[in-house]
Structure 1
Amino acid sequence: MLNKKVLSCAFEKTINIEWHKGQFTTNNFLHILIHELGHIFYFYDWETFKINHIFYLKQFLGHKINNLNKFSELDKEKVLKIFANSNYGLSDDDELLAEGFAYWLLTKQSMQTKIWEFWNEYFTSYLPQIRDKERKEV
Protein backbone atom coordinates (compact mmCIF):
# COMPACT_ATOMS: atom_id res chain seq x y z
CA MET A 1 0.00 0.00 0.00
CA LEU A 2 1.33 3.43 -0.91
CA ASN A 3 1.18 5.99 1.82
CA LYS A 4 0.29 9.65 1.40
CA LYS A 5 3.92 10.75 1.69
CA VAL A 6 5.04 8.53 -1.21
CA LEU A 7 2.13 9.63 -3.41
CA SER A 8 2.65 13.24 -2.45
CA CYS A 9 6.33 13.12 -3.40
CA ALA A 10 5.68 11.30 -6.66
CA PHE A 11 3.15 13.82 -7.89
CA GLU A 12 4.28 16.99 -6.12
CA LYS A 13 6.33 18.38 -9.00
CA THR A 14 3.63 17.73 -11.62
CA ILE A 15 0.87 19.06 -9.39
CA ASN A 16 2.79 22.25 -8.62
CA ILE A 17 3.62 22.87 -12.29
CA GLU A 18 -0.01 22.38 -13.34
CA TRP A 19 -1.25 24.48 -10.42
CA HIS A 20 0.98 27.41 -11.39
CA LYS A 21 -0.37 27.18 -14.96
CA GLY A 22 -3.91 27.55 -13.56
CA GLN A 23 -4.85 24.00 -14.47
CA PHE A 24 -5.72 23.01 -10.91
CA THR A 25 -7.53 25.06 -8.29
CA THR A 26 -5.05 23.81 -5.74
CA ASN A 27 -1.83 21.93 -5.31
CA ASN A 28 -3.41 20.00 -2.44
CA PHE A 29 -3.22 16.24 -3.01
CA LEU A 30 -6.52 15.55 -1.20
CA HIS A 31 -8.36 18.02 -3.43
CA ILE A 32 -6.98 16.31 -6.53
CA LEU A 33 -7.96 12.88 -5.19
CA ILE A 34 -11.54 14.07 -4.54
CA HIS A 35 -11.58 15.65 -8.02
CA GLU A 36 -10.71 12.26 -9.50
CA LEU A 37 -13.50 10.66 -7.46
CA GLY A 38 -15.79 13.22 -9.12
CA HIS A 39 -14.83 11.69 -12.47
CA ILE A 40 -15.84 8.25 -11.20
CA PHE A 41 -19.15 9.71 -10.06
CA TYR A 42 -19.66 11.37 -13.46
CA PHE A 43 -18.92 8.23 -15.48
CA TYR A 44 -20.84 5.92 -13.13
CA ASP A 45 -23.99 7.95 -13.64
CA TRP A 46 -23.46 7.98 -17.40
CA GLU A 47 -22.77 4.24 -17.68
CA THR A 48 -25.48 3.19 -15.22
CA PHE A 49 -28.30 5.64 -15.91
CA LYS A 50 -27.22 7.58 -19.03
CA ILE A 51 -27.38 10.74 -16.92
CA ASN A 52 -25.79 13.70 -18.67
CA HIS A 53 -24.83 15.88 -15.72
CA ILE A 54 -24.24 18.97 -17.81
CA PHE A 55 -27.72 18.77 -19.34
CA TYR A 56 -29.28 18.37 -15.89
CA LEU A 57 -27.03 21.00 -14.31
CA LYS A 58 -28.15 23.52 -16.95
CA GLN A 59 -31.76 22.52 -16.37
CA PHE A 60 -31.32 22.85 -12.60
CA LEU A 61 -29.69 26.28 -12.90
CA GLY A 62 -32.40 27.37 -15.31
CA HIS A 63 -34.98 26.70 -12.62
CA LYS A 64 -32.92 28.42 -9.94
CA ILE A 65 -32.02 31.63 -11.73
CA ASN A 66 -34.88 33.98 -12.58
CA ASN A 67 -35.93 34.13 -16.23
CA LEU A 68 -33.02 32.01 -17.42
CA ASN A 69 -35.37 29.89 -19.53
CA LYS A 70 -36.10 33.02 -21.60
CA PHE A 71 -32.41 33.40 -22.44
CA SER A 72 -30.61 31.76 -25.33
CA GLU A 73 -28.57 28.59 -24.94
CA LEU A 74 -25.41 30.70 -25.12
CA ASP A 75 -26.49 32.56 -22.00
CA LYS A 76 -27.07 29.25 -20.23
CA GLU A 77 -23.52 28.29 -21.19
CA LYS A 78 -22.22 31.53 -19.65
CA VAL A 79 -24.11 30.87 -16.43
CA LEU A 80 -22.78 27.32 -16.32
CA LYS A 81 -19.23 28.68 -16.53
CA ILE A 82 -19.79 30.61 -13.30
CA PHE A 83 -19.63 27.23 -11.60
CA ALA A 84 -16.19 26.37 -12.98
CA ASN A 85 -13.71 27.42 -10.31
CA SER A 86 -10.59 26.86 -12.44
CA ASN A 87 -9.35 26.95 -16.01
CA TYR A 88 -9.28 23.18 -15.81
CA GLY A 89 -12.98 23.11 -14.94
CA LEU A 90 -13.68 25.05 -18.13
CA SER A 91 -11.78 22.57 -20.31
CA ASP A 92 -14.69 20.14 -20.71
CA ASP A 93 -17.90 18.90 -19.13
CA ASP A 94 -16.52 16.10 -17.00
CA GLU A 95 -13.80 18.39 -15.61
CA LEU A 96 -16.49 20.93 -14.66
CA LEU A 97 -18.39 18.30 -12.73
CA ALA A 98 -15.24 16.87 -11.10
CA GLU A 99 -14.13 20.35 -10.00
CA GLY A 100 -17.63 21.10 -8.69
CA PHE A 101 -17.72 17.80 -6.84
CA ALA A 102 -14.39 18.51 -5.13
CA TYR A 103 -15.47 22.08 -4.32
CA TRP A 104 -18.73 20.81 -2.84
CA LEU A 105 -17.08 18.16 -0.65
CA LEU A 106 -14.06 20.13 0.51
CA THR A 107 -15.42 23.62 1.18
CA LYS A 108 -15.41 24.43 4.88
CA GLN A 109 -18.75 25.51 6.31
CA SER A 110 -17.45 29.00 7.07
CA MET A 111 -16.44 29.43 3.40
CA GLN A 112 -19.65 28.21 1.75
CA THR A 113 -21.09 30.62 -0.82
CA LYS A 114 -24.26 30.75 -2.88
CA ILE A 115 -22.48 28.75 -5.58
CA TRP A 116 -21.69 26.07 -2.99
CA GLU A 117 -25.39 26.05 -2.05
CA PHE A 118 -26.32 25.41 -5.69
CA TRP A 119 -23.83 22.52 -5.92
CA ASN A 120 -25.13 21.15 -2.62
CA GLU A 121 -28.74 21.24 -3.75
CA TYR A 122 -27.82 19.70 -7.11
CA PHE A 123 -25.92 16.77 -5.54
CA THR A 124 -28.18 16.12 -2.53
CA SER A 125 -31.68 16.87 -3.81
CA TYR A 126 -32.00 17.37 -7.57
CA LEU A 127 -29.69 14.56 -8.72
CA PRO A 128 -31.24 11.85 -6.50
CA GLN A 129 -34.61 12.66 -8.09
CA ILE A 130 -33.09 12.27 -11.56
CA ARG A 131 -31.49 8.95 -10.57
CA ASP A 132 -34.79 7.65 -9.18
CA LYS A 133 -36.53 8.58 -12.41
CA GLU A 134 -33.81 6.95 -14.53
CA ARG A 135 -33.84 3.76 -12.39
CA LYS A 136 -37.52 3.31 -13.14
CA GLU A 137 -36.83 3.64 -16.86
CA VAL A 138 -33.82 1.27 -16.94
Structure 2
Amino acid sequence: MPKQIYFWAALFWTFAIAFLCLVSIGNVVPQVSLQNADKYVHFTFHFVFTWLWFLYFSHEKIESSNAKTILAVFLLSFIYGISVEIMQGFFTIARKADIYDVLANTTGAVMAVISIRLYQKYMQKRKLSN
Protein backbone atom coordinates (compact mmCIF):
# COMPACT_ATOMS: atom_id res chain seq x y z
CA MET A 1 0.00 0.00 0.00
CA PRO A 2 1.47 3.41 -0.89
CA LYS A 3 2.75 5.54 1.96
CA GLN A 4 0.49 8.36 0.78
CA ILE A 5 -2.62 6.28 1.57
CA TYR A 6 -1.40 5.68 5.13
CA PHE A 7 -0.82 9.40 5.52
CA TRP A 8 -4.31 10.37 4.34
CA ALA A 9 -5.95 7.65 6.43
CA ALA A 10 -4.06 8.77 9.55
CA LEU A 11 -4.80 12.44 8.87
CA PHE A 12 -8.49 11.71 8.27
CA TRP A 13 -8.65 9.75 11.55
CA THR A 14 -6.90 12.58 13.39
CA PHE A 15 -9.44 15.13 12.15
CA ALA A 16 -12.34 12.74 12.79
CA ILE A 17 -11.29 12.41 16.43
CA ALA A 18 -11.12 16.20 16.83
CA PHE A 19 -14.48 16.69 15.14
CA LEU A 20 -16.25 13.99 17.14
CA CYS A 21 -14.73 15.18 20.42
CA LEU A 22 -15.22 18.91 19.92
CA VAL A 23 -18.53 19.23 18.08
CA SER A 24 -21.80 18.63 19.88
CA ILE A 25 -23.62 15.89 17.99
CA GLY A 26 -26.03 14.96 20.79
CA ASN A 27 -29.22 14.04 18.91
CA VAL A 28 -27.43 12.63 15.85
CA VAL A 29 -25.65 9.81 17.69
CA PRO A 30 -27.89 7.21 19.33
CA GLN A 31 -27.57 6.92 23.09
CA VAL A 32 -25.93 3.71 24.30
CA SER A 33 -26.96 2.26 27.65
CA LEU A 34 -23.49 0.79 28.28
CA GLN A 35 -21.90 2.41 31.31
CA ASN A 36 -18.87 4.55 30.37
CA ALA A 37 -19.39 3.79 26.67
CA ASP A 38 -17.49 6.95 25.77
CA LYS A 39 -14.35 5.47 27.37
CA TYR A 40 -14.48 2.56 24.91
CA VAL A 41 -14.82 5.10 22.11
CA HIS A 42 -11.77 7.02 23.36
CA PHE A 43 -9.84 3.75 23.66
CA THR A 44 -10.74 2.83 20.07
CA PHE A 45 -9.96 6.32 18.76
CA HIS A 46 -6.41 6.17 20.07
CA PHE A 47 -5.82 2.50 19.33
CA VAL A 48 -6.56 3.16 15.64
CA PHE A 49 -4.77 6.55 15.72
CA THR A 50 -1.57 4.93 16.98
CA TRP A 51 -1.70 2.11 14.42
CA LEU A 52 -2.40 4.41 11.48
CA TRP A 53 0.41 6.83 12.31
CA PHE A 54 2.74 3.87 12.95
CA LEU A 55 1.90 2.45 9.52
CA TYR A 56 2.65 5.81 7.93
CA PHE A 57 5.97 6.37 9.70
CA SER A 58 7.18 2.80 9.28
CA HIS A 59 5.91 2.13 5.76
CA GLU A 60 7.54 -0.92 4.12
CA LYS A 61 9.49 -1.88 7.24
CA ILE A 62 6.74 -2.71 9.72
CA GLU A 63 8.35 -5.84 11.14
CA SER A 64 11.72 -4.15 11.67
CA SER A 65 10.63 -0.67 12.73
CA ASN A 66 12.66 0.53 15.67
CA ALA A 67 11.51 1.44 19.14
CA LYS A 68 11.92 5.17 18.40
CA THR A 69 9.11 5.04 15.83
CA ILE A 70 6.82 3.22 18.24
CA LEU A 71 7.63 5.63 21.06
CA ALA A 72 7.08 8.61 18.76
CA VAL A 73 3.60 7.48 17.68
CA PHE A 74 2.69 6.66 21.27
CA LEU A 75 3.75 10.14 22.40
CA LEU A 76 1.91 11.68 19.45
CA SER A 77 -1.27 9.90 20.52
CA PHE A 78 -0.77 10.82 24.18
CA ILE A 79 -0.14 14.51 23.47
CA TYR A 80 -2.95 14.69 20.92
CA GLY A 81 -5.38 13.12 23.41
CA ILE A 82 -4.45 15.61 26.12
CA SER A 83 -4.69 18.49 23.62
CA VAL A 84 -8.21 17.49 22.58
CA GLU A 85 -9.27 17.27 26.22
CA ILE A 86 -7.83 20.74 26.91
CA MET A 87 -9.70 22.09 23.86
CA GLN A 88 -12.91 20.50 25.17
CA GLY A 89 -12.41 22.27 28.47
CA PHE A 90 -11.68 25.70 27.00
CA PHE A 91 -13.47 25.90 23.67
CA THR A 92 -16.72 23.93 23.96
CA ILE A 93 -19.88 24.42 25.95
CA ALA A 94 -21.47 20.98 25.60
CA ARG A 95 -18.25 19.06 26.35
CA LYS A 96 -15.88 19.02 29.31
CA ALA A 97 -12.33 17.88 29.85
CA ASP A 98 -12.12 14.52 31.59
CA ILE A 99 -9.02 12.89 33.05
CA TYR A 100 -10.66 9.48 32.54
CA ASP A 101 -10.87 10.20 28.81
CA VAL A 102 -7.10 10.83 28.87
CA LEU A 103 -6.68 7.50 30.67
CA ALA A 104 -8.84 5.72 28.07
CA ASN A 105 -6.88 7.42 25.26
CA THR A 106 -3.59 6.37 26.80
CA THR A 107 -4.80 2.81 27.36
CA GLY A 108 -5.82 2.59 23.70
CA ALA A 109 -2.39 3.84 22.61
CA VAL A 110 -0.59 1.42 24.96
CA MET A 111 -2.63 -1.50 23.66
CA ALA A 112 -1.84 -0.44 20.10
CA VAL A 113 1.88 -0.39 20.95
CA ILE A 114 1.60 -3.87 22.47
CA SER A 115 -0.27 -5.17 19.42
CA ILE A 116 2.31 -3.57 17.10
CA ARG A 117 5.15 -5.28 18.97
CA LEU A 118 3.31 -8.62 18.93
CA TYR A 119 2.69 -8.25 15.21
CA GLN A 120 6.36 -7.42 14.62
CA LYS A 121 7.47 -10.51 16.56
CA TYR A 122 5.03 -12.68 14.64
CA MET A 123 6.30 -11.31 11.32
CA GLN A 124 9.94 -11.83 12.34
CA LYS A 125 9.26 -15.46 13.32
CA ARG A 126 7.37 -16.01 10.10
CA LYS A 127 10.23 -14.51 8.10
CA LEU A 128 12.79 -16.73 9.86
CA SER A 129 10.75 -19.88 9.23
CA ASN A 130 10.62 -19.25 5.46
TM-score over 0.5 for the alignment? no
Report 1 or 2 for greater relative contact order, CA contacts < 8 Å, sequence distance ≥ 6: 2
Question: What is the TM-score with the length of structure 2 in the denominator?
Answer: 0.32
Question: What is the TM-score with the length of structure 1 in the denominator?
Answer: 0.31
